[in-house]
Amino acid sequence: MPVPDFTLPPFGRRWLQRLPATPPAWLLVHSLNQLQKRQVLAADMSLLSGKTFAVEICDAGLTLTFRADDERFHTGNSGDAPDLRLAANLADFLRLMLREEDPDTLFFSRRLRIEGDTELGLIVKNLLDSVDWDSTPLRRFMQH
Amino acid sequence: MQRLPELICPAGSLPALKAAIDNGADAVYLGLKNDTNARNFAGLNFDHRSASEGIRYARDHKRKVLMAINTYARGGDSLRWRAAIDEAAALGVDAVILADLGLLAYAHERHPALRLHLSVQGSATNYEAINLAQSLFGVQRAVLPRVLTLDQVRHVIANTSVEIEVFGFGSLCVMVEGRCLLSSYATGESPNSHGVCSPARFVRWEDNGQGMDARLNHILIDRYGASETAGYPTLCKGRFEVEGHTDYVLEQPSSLNVLAMLPQLLDAGVAAIKVEGRQRSPAYVAQVTRALREALDQAGQSAQRFSVKPAWQQALAKVSEGQQVTLGAYDRPWK
C-alpha cells in the first residue's frame, strides 16, 4: 500500500518538538547497527568514519543527529555541525525507505534537501539502494 | 504481431537489477565499481560477487545482462579497462558495451566469443562508422547518440546489418554523447575520462535564504527559487548571464520520452530501446520499466490502436529530470 499524502499537522509538530530527539535517534542508530551487523547494510565504514549526519524531519520539527566511527554508528549531539544534512517531510522519508520514490525524483521536485558533503550524500544514498531487502524478514514491506 | 525491440534497463545496484527484471526488462546493463564505466559514482555499481548474483538472477528469469565498459582508457594505463573486459568475459555477461577503439580491438582478439556492443559514448552517428566497427571488431549492436531524427535513425538502419539500439527514456544529454568535454572546464574531469559529468566531490548545494544555489567546483551554475524544480548539477543545464540576460544557455533540464512515437520506432526496426539511469534508485527502475513494458507490449500488438495511456505518462513525468519530457531530436520535422 503506498504511503498516503500527508504532512504532520502543526499541533503534532509542537507536541513532537517537546520530546527529546534522543529516542528516535537512538532507534535509528540501533537499527543501522543491527542491519550492518547482519550484513544487510554492506557499509564500507572507512568511507563514513568520522562523519556526522543530520536527518531533519521537517514537518515533525525533529533533527536526528548521528555519527560513524570505524565500526559502528553512534547518536550525536544536536549541536554538532553535520557533514551531511538530509531534510524532508516524514511521508517522503517513508517513501524513500519503502522504495516508493527515488531520491533524485524528490530532489528534482525540491522535496528532499541535501546539504554539505555531496559525495558523502551519494555514498549514503547508494548504500541504502544496495540493501537487498529480499534477504531480510522486512521483504514483505518492500513489495511493490 | 511484430517482433518487439528488447527493453534494456539500467542497474546501479543488485536491487535495481531485480526491480528491472521483475518489471519486465529483457536485459539490464551494469558497470563495475571503478572508472571503467560512465556512471562512476561513489557507492554505485557492482563488484564480482554482486555481479555474479545479478547474472544468476537474470539467467533464472531468462533475461540478459550487459556490462558497460564505456569510458576511454587513459594512455599508458589501460590495464584496468582490459581487466574489466576479462572480468566481464569470466562472469559470462551476454555482451560488453564499449566505446574505446583499442578496447574493442582487445575484446575482439582476446575474447572472440564475447558479443560486442558499440556504446553511445562511441559516438557513431552514421552507418559508415557503424559498418566500420562491424568489419574491424565484429560489433553486433550500436547504441545511437540522442541527436538523430527519426528519419536519420531509419536511414542508419537501412544501411547496416548491425543491430541498432536507441534511447527511449531518461535524463537528456544535449551533446553528441562521447564528444563532450564540457564538465572538464570546471573540474578537469569529463564523462569520457572519469565516467561522470559532475563528480560529486565538486558539487555543493547551498541554501541561500530564498532558494538553493548549485555550485560545481565553486562556480555558480544555477540558482533555484524556492518552488522551482531542480536538475542535475551539470554545466550544460546551468543558467548563465549572456548579454544581460540570465537563462538556460545550452538546455533546460528535461528527460527524453519516446512513448508517443513507439509505433514509429518499432516500424523503423530498432533492435532495442534503452532506459537511461544507472545512477537512479530501484524505485525509478521499477516505475520506468513497468510503464515502458506495458507500452511496448501494446504497441507490438497493434500500432494502429496504440495510444499512450495517461498512467504511463504520469509515471514517467514524475521521475523526469526537470519534471518535463521531450521527444528530443527524434521529432524534428525539418531535414
Most B CBs within 10 Å: which of A83, A126, A134, A138, as the mutation test of the B interface?
Answer: A126
On whether both B35 and B155 belong to a single domain, the answer is yes
Most B CBs within 10 Å: which of A40, A58, A105, A141, as the mutation test of the B interface?
Answer: A105
pTM given for the model: 0.91
Where is average pLDDT lowest: A9-23, A35-49, B88-102, B224-238? A9-23
Write down which residue in B248, B263, B283 finishes a domain: B248
On whether both B268 and B327 belong to a single domain, the answer is yes
Residue keyed to cell 548563465? B240
On whether both B119 and B237 belong to a single domain, the answer is no
Is residue B219 a part of any domain in this protein? yes
Total number of domains constituting chain B: 2
Q: How far apart are CA B43 and CA B12, in angstroms?
A: 9
Q: Could you say which of B200, B253, B281 has the minimum Cβ distance to residue A99? A: B281
On whether both B30 and B140 belong to a single domain, the answer is yes
Nearest residue to B235 (alpha-carbon basis) of B254, B212, B214, B207: B214
On whether both B261 and B122 belong to a single domain, the answer is yes
Express as a percent the part of chain B with pLDDT over 90.
Answer: 72
pLDDT digits (tens, 9 = 90+) for A73-102: 999 887 778 999 999 999 999 999 888 999
pLDDT digits (tens, 9 = 90+) for B149-162: 999 999 999 999 99
Strands laid side by side in the A73-75 sheet: A73-75, A62-68, A52-57, A84-88, A113-116
On whether both B149 and B270 belong to a single domain, the answer is yes
Q: Could you say which of A47, A101, A107 has the minimum Cβ distance to residue B230? A: A107
pLDDT at B269 over 90: yes
CB contact under 8 A, B226 and A110: yes
State the nearest Cα–Cα gap between A112 and chain B, in angstroms: 11
Q: Could you say which of A102, A122, A131 has the minimum Cβ distance to residue B319? A: A102
Q: Please compute the mean of the pLDDT values over residues B279-298 and round it to a whole number.
A: 96
Q: Please compute the mean of the pLDDT values over residues A12-34 and round it to a whole number.
A: 80
Residue keyed to cell 504532520? A8
On whether both B27 and B48 belong to a single domain, the answer is yes
Position B68: which residue type? A
Is residue B114 a part of any domain in this protein? yes
Distances (CA, A) of A9 to A25, A86, A96, B214: 22, 21, 21, 31
Interface residue B91 vs chain A (CB under 8 A): no
pLDDT at B324 over 80: no
pLDDT number for residue A21? 66
Is residue B88 a part of any domain in this protein? yes
pLDDT at B203 over 70: yes
On whether both B203 and B322 belong to a single domain, the answer is no
State the nearest Cα–Cα gap between B180 and chain A, in angstroms: 23
Is residue B241 a part of any domain in this protein? yes
Write down which residue in B209, B229, B248 finishes a domain: B248
CATH number of the domain residue B117 falls in: 3.20.20.70
Cβ neighbors of B213 (< 8 A, separation 6 or more) are B204, B205, B206, B220, B222, B223, B224
B9 is in an annotated binding site: no
Most confident of A17-26, B206-215, B287-296: B287-296
pLDDT number for residue B227? 85
pLDDT digits (tens, 9 = 90+) for B139-149: 999 999 988 99
pLDDT number for residue A140? 65
**Total beta-carbon pairs less than 8 A apart between chain A and chain B:** 101
Q: How far apart are CA B167 and CA B121, in angstroms?
A: 13
Is residue B184 a part of any domain in this protein? no
On whether both B109 and B244 belong to a single domain, the answer is no
On whether both B135 and B264 belong to a single domain, the answer is yes
Mark which residues 13-42 of A lie under 8 Å from B by CB. Answer: none
- State the complex-level ipTM: 0.84
Q: How far apart are CA B63 and CA B24, in angstroms?
A: 9
Domains located in chain A, CATH noted: 10-141 (3.30.1050.10)
pLDDT at A142 over 70: no
On whether both B11 and B117 belong to a single domain, the answer is yes
Mark which residues 84-143 of A lie under 8 Å from B by CB. Answer: 99-105, 107-110, 113-115, 118-119, 121-127, 129-134
Q: Please compute the mean of the pLDDT values over residues B212-237 and round it to a whole number.
A: 91
Average of per-residue pLDDT values in chain A: 86
Q: How far apart are CA B313 and CA B219, in angstroms?
A: 35
Q: Please compute the mean of the pLDDT values over residues B71-91 and round it to a whole number.
A: 93
pLDDT digits (tens, 9 = 90+) for B19-47: 999 999 999 999 999 999 989 888 899 99
pLDDT number for residue A78? 74
pLDDT at B80 over 90: yes
Most A CBs within 10 Å: which of B201, B218, B237, B281, as the mutation test of the A interface?
Answer: B281
On whether both B115 and B201 belong to a single domain, the answer is no
Q: How far apart are CA B25 and CA B199, in angstroms?
A: 29
Where is average pLDDT lowest: A4-13, A113-122, B179-188, B245-254? A4-13
Is residue B46 a part of any domain in this protein? yes
Is residue B177 a part of any domain in this protein? no
CB atoms within 10 A of CB B188: 12
Q: Please compute the mean of the pLDDT values over residues B50-63 and round it to a whole number.
A: 97
Interface residue B31 vs chain A (CB under 8 A): no
Write down which residue in B203, B230, B248 finishes a domain: B248
- Structural domain boundaries enclosing B226: 189-248
Cβ neighbors of B301 (< 8 A, separation 6 or more) are B1
